[in-house]
A and B are shown apart, each in its own frame.
Chain A
């Protein structure tokens, strides 16, 4: 016959196991909009300049702590980053054309063809070349955003993990190492261009 202690211990172990499984599932869901950008790392060897910005979940937590509620500007930034799980930027500038290949870009686009990702076709940018903006929708909620900007001698990928919209992205440009992508104010209509 099991003692009360053994019964409670068994229940505790079961509860811990359930919590671990649940937290792993939540973590997996939160990672959905994080793109794997490591395939672009080799371009740094060819680039005249490469920029790598990593604001992961831990750094985002620090960011949300240090911005003051007293200062209007910082209060705005605090609101912007609240709920975000990460901001990742990879940007490459090259001396000559043809330093990155279609396969390099395709490795990113392939991820953006995954479930939930929608390309916004009505977004424009002041930058030359092509600028593609994608949103990850989890039901009615925005789960993340990605920008793929490709010019002859420049390639930039911005990946924001968590609930963000284009209006917020425009405010983040030039801050946290996010480059100025010249994204124009978004129109409300969305289309799937895939």
Chain B
């Protein structure tokens, strides 16, 4: 192989590897949703359906567009997938291992709380001057995956009080507060 060809291959490989990293960062939310679907044999409900049905995520569509109810997450940054009235039976330790392995390249595991009927995970990563946070909550009959972007101030709040701030963000993303 000539030097010229070698350089061309190297450039293509470099571009390809960069594109893969970018894609991995962008698609992790969807990957986690698919992982839950495959592991537990469930199907998530899209936000438009929930909004039409007047279910608990009814306000979420507006918030995704940066509604006034925004308090913690940055405007337009909320990604949400909800699973309702489905069975989440499976080995939670195996699920945790699969999840950690899948996200280990691009996310930092922060807090993981496992109970008999509940799993909660918080992953974080730096995104320029902001911070992405991925929350995964799985209970017996429902699950929620939320990805938000936080300002440094709110990220500090999460680090100080992961449980309280995590709950507040989950509520902000999913609860219909009848505004």
Interface residues of A (CB under 8 A from B): 41, 44-45, 47-56, 58-59, 62-63, 65-68, 74, 77, 175-177
Contact = CB atoms under 8 A, between A and B. Distances in A.
B113 interface: yes
B110 interface: yes
Interface stretch (B4-12, B24-32, B79-87, B158-166): B158-166
In which size bucket is the chain B interface?
20 to 34
Contacts, number: 69
Interface of B: 92-93, 96, 108-116, 124, 126, 131, 152-153, 155-156, 159-163
Contacts of A56: 108
B113 A66 contact: no
Contacts of B96: 44
B111 A177 contact: yes
A50 B153 CA distance: 28
A66 B115 contact: no
Given A49-B114, A59-B124, A176-B160, A66 B131 contact: yes
Contact of B162 (A41, A45, A177): A177
Contacts of A176: 159-160, 162
A175 to B, nearest CB: 5
Secondary structure at the A interface, as helix, strand, loop or mixed, is mixed
A87 to B, nearest CB: 10
A48 B152 contact: no
A66 B159 contact: yes
A66 B108 contact: no
8 contacts: A50-B113, A53-B110, A54-B110, A59-B110, A62-B124, A66-B156, A175-B161, A176-B162
Contact of B93 (A44, A63, A66): A44
A63 B155 CA distance: 8
Give me the 8 closest cross-chain CB pairs, A-B, nearest first: A66-B152, A66-B156, A52-B112, A49-B115, A50-B114, A66-B155, A59-B108, A175-B160
B155 A62 contact: yes
A45 B116 CA distance: 8
A74 B152 CA distance: 12
A66 B153 contact: yes
A63 B158 CA distance: 10
Contacts of A63: 156, 159
Contacts of B161: 175
Contacts of B162: 53, 176-177
A58 to B, nearest CB: 6
Nearest to B118: A49
Contact of B111 (A49, A51, A67, A77): A51
A168 B66 CA distance: 40
B106 to A, nearest CB: 12
A48 B115 contact: yes
A163 to B, nearest CB: 19
Contacts of B116: 48-49
Nearest to A90: B112
Q: Which of B152, B153, B159 counts the most chain A CB atoms within 10 A?
A: B159
A18 to B, nearest CB: 28
B169 to A, nearest CB: 16
A45 B115 contact: no
A58 B111 CA distance: 15
B151 to A, nearest CB: 9
